[in-house]
């Protein structure tokens, strides 16, 4: 069936010579990824390049605007008063596509490795075993924490995740990704590590703009006399605004990877200044997920090459394939964003830097203890854009996390730093 394969070990049996033969190829891939990343980094620092990319984005959106049948219709989110796990259908089709994509990518390495002098039998057996392991790895048990929906309105949904004594902690998710990166796998979940009672506020497509989302956040929290807030990414920005506007209600605030000072926002700041947000949003009822995430891929178009290199190097490590598939599912299991929210976020938070400038809220009015967490290798929200909160909130502590924007919740070192700091911060009344 598969040479040198041990089915009892999920295809992880391998020849000791395999990595020796693969090393020149993997080193070449890593070198190409590094060189391409450096060239791309130089290119997107060029304002003319950024402006040209924004113009191309807007031109396509204008073409779509001429064809009403291409407009994206808002989907109806999964509903239910009591649910377990994801609360909606497991993304089986996406899992199948993810397996197929990476199995194909591994297949392309076989002739490349042989062309660089690798032993065909050794390398063929190793990479075929990896393909089999990808195919047979069980579906990752995503979002293991039970949830009970306690409130919903518009695009906002509030879930109770755990019970306990003390001030409730509400986790505010980002609105461009599904929430379950915060609750990825058993033993790999930030939510399950937080002291209870814990609630989760997540988002569906909706019709609201930024002001409308902030109003829903206020309403969702109105049932709590006191609350501790933790916001991830865009959710951290929303949480900071709420804490500044409602200092008497928020007893503690923690944010991670949140755009606070957009002047330090890196390439996203440049992109929003040059992108034609009117043209983009006029083409859609809700901006489709691939368009929402196009700028993220543009930040690092070589990321899949890096992932493939790491996959070949590390797939035998216990638990690696499960985490790999779980993160890849989350990376691609995205949601559309209501056009009013997409536009107002880009204009208010990034182009106008309205939060930092005090137009959206006065960060200096936050009275409670604040924990600002930022990833040292965050290419999406540079650390300085988040840690700036400590310069305005009078009782703030800044903490660096050894990870990237996603790795803080999906990687072992990043998650360990996050859970240690957040558990200590929220656990002590």
- Digit-coded pLDDT (tens) for 71-92: 443 333 333 333 334 545 677 8
Asked if 264 contacts 372 with a C-beta cutoff of 8 angstroms, the reply is no
- Nearest Cα to 158, choosing from 171, 149, 166, 167? 149
Question: Which residue segment(s) compose the domain that 186 sits in?
Answer: 147-261+355-427
- Nearest Cα to 279, choosing from 67, 73, 70, 64? 64
The pLDDT of residue 2 is above 80: no
Asked if 196 contacts 164 with a C-beta cutoff of 8 angstroms, the reply is yes
Q: What angle do CA 18, 23, 26 make, to 5 degrees?
A: 115
Q: Is residue 292 in a domain?
A: no
Structural element, H or E, at residue 26: helix 18-44
Token digits of residue 122:
């050794």
Q: How far apart are CA 86 and CA 146, in angstroms?
A: 9
In order, the DSSP letters of 34-96 are: HHHHHHHHHHHTSHHHHHHHHHHHHHHHHHHHT-GGGSPPPPPPP--SEE-TTSS---HHHHH
Q: How far apart are CA 227 and CA 309, in angstroms?
A: 44
Per DSSP, what are the bridge partners of residue 169?
A: 198, 228
Q: Is residue 276 in a domain?
A: no
The pLDDT of residue 403 is above 80: yes
Asked if 125 contacts 4 with a C-beta cutoff of 8 angstroms, the reply is yes
Asked if 285 contacts 72 with a C-beta cutoff of 8 angstroms, the reply is yes
Domain at 384, CATH number: 3.40.50.1820
**275-313 residue pLDDT tens:** 778 877 877 788 888 778 877 776 677 778 888 988 998
Q: How many CA atoms lie within 13 A of 200 on its CB side?
A: 29
Which class for 2: exposed (0-12), middle (13-18), buried (19 or more C-beta within 10 A)? middle
Q: Is residue 395 in a domain?
A: yes
Q: Is residue 122 in a domain?
A: no
What letter would DSSP give residue 334?
B
What pLDDT score was predicted for residue 75?
35
Q: Is residue 208 in a domain?
A: yes
Q: Is residue 256 in a domain?
A: yes
Q: How far apart are CA 61 and CA 207, in angstroms?
A: 19
Please report how the helices 303-314 and 18-44 are oriented relative to each other, as an axis angle in degrees rounded to 10: 160
What's the order of all strands across the beta sheet hosting 396-401? 82-83, 147-153, 156-162, 198-203, 169-172, 227-232, 250-256, 370-375, 396-401
Going by pLDDT thresholds of 50, 70 and 90, the confidence category of residue 190 is: very high
The pLDDT of residue 137 is above 50: yes
Q: Is residue 20 in a domain?
A: no
What pLDDT score was predicted for residue 8?
40
Token digits of residue 129:
């075993």
The pLDDT of residue 5 is above 80: no
**159-179 residue pLDDT tens:** 999 999 899 999 999 998 889
What pLDDT score was predicted for residue 62?
63
The pLDDT of residue 10 is above 50: no
Q: Is residue 379 in a domain?
A: yes
What pLDDT score was predicted for residue 83?
36
Question: Strand 337-338 vs strand 286-287: parallel, antiparallel, or unpaired?
Answer: antiparallel
Instruction: Read off φ and ψ for residue 39, nearest 5 degrees.
Output: -65, -40
The mean pLDDT value of the chain amounts to 84
How many domains are contained in the chain? 1
């Amino acid at each position: 069936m598969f040479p040198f394969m041990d089915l009892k070990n999920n295809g992880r049996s391998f020849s000791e010579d395999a990595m020796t033969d693969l090393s020149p190829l993997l080193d070449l891939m890593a070198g190409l990824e590094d060189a391409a990343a450096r060239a791309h980094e130089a290119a997107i620092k060029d304002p003319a390049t950024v402006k040209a990319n924004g113009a191309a984005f807007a031109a396509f959106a204008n073409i779509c605007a001429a064809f009403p049948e291409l407009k994206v219709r808002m989907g109806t989110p999964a509903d239910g008063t009591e649910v377990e796990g994801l609360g909606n259908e497991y993304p089986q089709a996406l899992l199948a596509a993810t397996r197929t994509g990476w199995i194909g990518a591994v297949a392309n390495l076989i002739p490349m490795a042989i062309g660089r002098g690798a032993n065909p039998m050794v390398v063929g057996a190793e990479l075929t075993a990896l393909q089999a392991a990808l195919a047979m790895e069980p579906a990752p048990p995503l979002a293991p924490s039970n949830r009970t929906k306690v409130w919903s309105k518009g695009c906002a949904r509030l879930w109770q995740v755990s019970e306990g004594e003390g001030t409730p902690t509400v986790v505010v998710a980002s609105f461009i990704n599904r929430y379950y990166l915060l609750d990825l796998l058993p033993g790999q979940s930030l939510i399950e590590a937080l002291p209870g009672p814990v609630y989760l506020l997540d988002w569906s497509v909706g019709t609201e703009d930024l002001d409308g989302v902030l109003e829903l956040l206020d309403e969702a929290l109105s049932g709590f006399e006191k609350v501790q807030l933790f916001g991830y990414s865009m959710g951290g920005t929303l949480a900071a605004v709420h804490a500044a506007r409602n200092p008497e209600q928020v007893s503690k605030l923690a944010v991670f990877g949140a755009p606070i000072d957009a002047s330090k926002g890196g390439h996203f700041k440049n992109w929003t200044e040059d992108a034609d947000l009117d043209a983009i949003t006029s083409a859609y009822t809700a901006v489709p997920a691939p368009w929402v995430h196009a700028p993220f891929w543009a930040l690092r178009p070589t990321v899949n090459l890096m992932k493939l290199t790491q996959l070949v190097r590390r797939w035998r490590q216990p638990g690696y394939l499960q985490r790999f598939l779980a993160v890849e599912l989350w990376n691609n299991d995205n949601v559309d964003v209501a056009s009013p929210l997409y536009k107002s976020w880009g204009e208010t938070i990034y182009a106008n830097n309205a939060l930092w400038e005090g137009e959206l809220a006065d960060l200096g009015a936050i009275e409670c203890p604040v924990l600002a967490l930022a990833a040292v290798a965050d290419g999406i929200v540079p650390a300085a854009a988040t840690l700036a909160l400590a310069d305005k909130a009078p009782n703030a502590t800044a903490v660096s996390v050894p990870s990237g924007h996603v790795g803080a919740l999906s990687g072992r070192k990043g998650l360990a730093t996050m859970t240690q700091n957040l558990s200590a911060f929220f656990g002590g009344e």
